[in-house]
Structure 1
Amino acid sequence: MTENLSNDPIYNTNWCDVPKEIKLKCIKTMEFKERLSLRCTAKTERSLVDSQKIKIFCGRFYMSHFQLNFLPIESMFRSFKNSDEAVEFTNYILKIGVFRFIDFHYHDLEAMNFTEQISAECISFHSSENKTVVDVLQKLKAGVKSIMINAKEGINDYAFDEILAISHVQNVPYWHIKDCYQADSLQKVAQMWINEDSEIGTIFQLSRTYQGPRPSEFQRIFLEHFTDHIVSNTGKRIRIRTNNPDHHILLERGLDYNFDDDDEREVCCDQFFRLIVISAEMKESEYDDKCMKWICVIDSENYSDYDDDPDAYVNEYLENIENDDQVENGELNPNVEDDDDW
């Protein structure tokens, strides 16, 4: 490269005289902390550093601090002195970062006022209220593969119509809400899929706890809305037609409780639901009966895919007791292949 440049080759001793093209090549090989050091040396270097994207495997953002993981070796944890510093530096990270996974832990009163577009394959929210969720989702670049929302701390004010109007939500292959309070959420997601003619394999899952509406409410509202679309209804599964003759939507209830009209038990028990776009040619014999496989994606703390195979769970448990290891209950997405670039 240098032989074809007009600059004299004084770059051997002075970084400031190195041609821009070579500096950019060098910056691309630098780790994140090295880039931060370089951008502090001069305005020109800051501009060059800021122009280069960097792959970040996982980023977790809180109001008071953030943590970045660059596989395989580098990681970074940084605390903020005040909210202004937090906003400035977080916006910088979101500007240059290309994330595999990204986590946000904010309440509305702690919203970071994101100003940059966010590039991420998988995004999750923990105890974040409607404003934060909507603001971040609207700034996502195209290509997000999964959206996960955890409303564990009693967040019950999600404006579903507002969230469903976001293109990333309409096109995402997988998303879920843990501890969902909107009993009409299943109906609204299914209707959005019908309107958008969503692809086969698109999935939405939710869990409800004793604090939310009773499980029967989710199914009742769904059935009332799609009365004229029902193909079959077994109680545990409801199948409906869409406007596309090749597509059906299947609603599955995860835990097959038998309440015998015991309202008190129904209110106290957890429940999980899954919506999935399926082929109209799919037969009932092809349904997946291993509900724990998808339940543990939402709640790996309390449920395991081993629950579908008690013997396998016991054997694994005993092996880990002998080795004094901790049993790992579930994976974020067991269908995602490893990517050597991360």
Structure 2
Amino acid sequence: MFDGRVVRALGTMSGTSLDGVDAAVIATDGEVIHGFGATAYRAYTPAEHGVLRAHLGRWPADGCKVAQAIVETAHAEVMAGFTGIDLIGFHGQTLAHDPANRRTHQCGDGAVLAARLGLPVAWDFRTADVAAGGQGAPLAPFFHFALAKWIGATAPLAMLNLGGVGNLTWIDPAQDRPEDDGALLAFDTGPANAPMNDLMQARRGEPQDADGAIAATGRAEMQIVDAFLADPYFAMPAPKSLDRGAFADLSDAVQGLADADALATLLEAVVQSTALALAVCPRPPERLLVTGGGRKNRALMRRLQAVLPCAVAPVESAGLDGDMIEAQAFGYLAVRVARGLPISAPMTTGVASPLRGGQLAMSPHNRPI
């Protein structure tokens, strides 16, 4: 499908922070980026957020119809505002992820959206990889490789996505294709915003520590951080991936601390786990570009810049949109799914060989929205 021509794909992402749906247009043939288009965001209401949060850890057999309806409705609403689209990339909402037992659950049905919006929808991006013994995550690295080419990078660099969970992509832009040996190394680094956001919601009824202002006034309890870093996950070879609920012990460990100290401790856990991740890269990256909501946490960015052995900057420093990279990624991957190109590889998810993935739901109408 599409036979290598440039496609206007609309990608969407609803991350583990459960804040809402990002949507972004990308022009691509699934290999080279040709440009970026309009973007939009649709926040989940407090009631919707509560339902989705209550469904975390659930599998389809547990009964997720209410959550699924919320996910599909929110995505349909934000996507209906776009025109001139050829293809949709729909990630869905991750509720549970258990690659060790070869299962993962991204809530939402692409066929429902294809029928509702009148466009082909690529979806279910992770299942094939997990079924083949891969981690099913992260999936953005193939897009990160294309971004490195787009910005004209010539030396190895890394991209750090700080969403609910952190993940790192090391990139060698001298390689020709993302699936080539030595082109990429990608894996989840540890928790990112999720523990801090959960603490703020539980203690203050607020979604986040804006700018890291409260954490900046606290003192990290390093005994807790050191115990966290002793978790076997950090000694595991990459690629590897995490569920949002991993490291619950870390959140439990800060319960006796004052708000500022608890947040400072959780923040330091993000910094130190990122430092461990950089240490296993094939070669030191020239720079680290940070995307996701965590790049807006000034206290977190200051600590990363102070601790890490390379230049650290938000992706905006390279002319990219840090709010929309994940959504753009699934637009890009949607075109690869439609063309039958691989979307994961041994050094991104641990799958045995480069692997095609995703399903393509065709609309009965095939009309532009």
Q: Is this a same-fold pair by TM over 0.5? A: no
Question: TM-score normalised to the size of structure 2?
Answer: 0.27
RCO (CA 8 Å, sep 6+): is it higher in 1 or 2? 2
Question: TM-score normalised to the size of structure 1?
Answer: 0.29
Q: Which has the larger radius of gyration?
A: 1
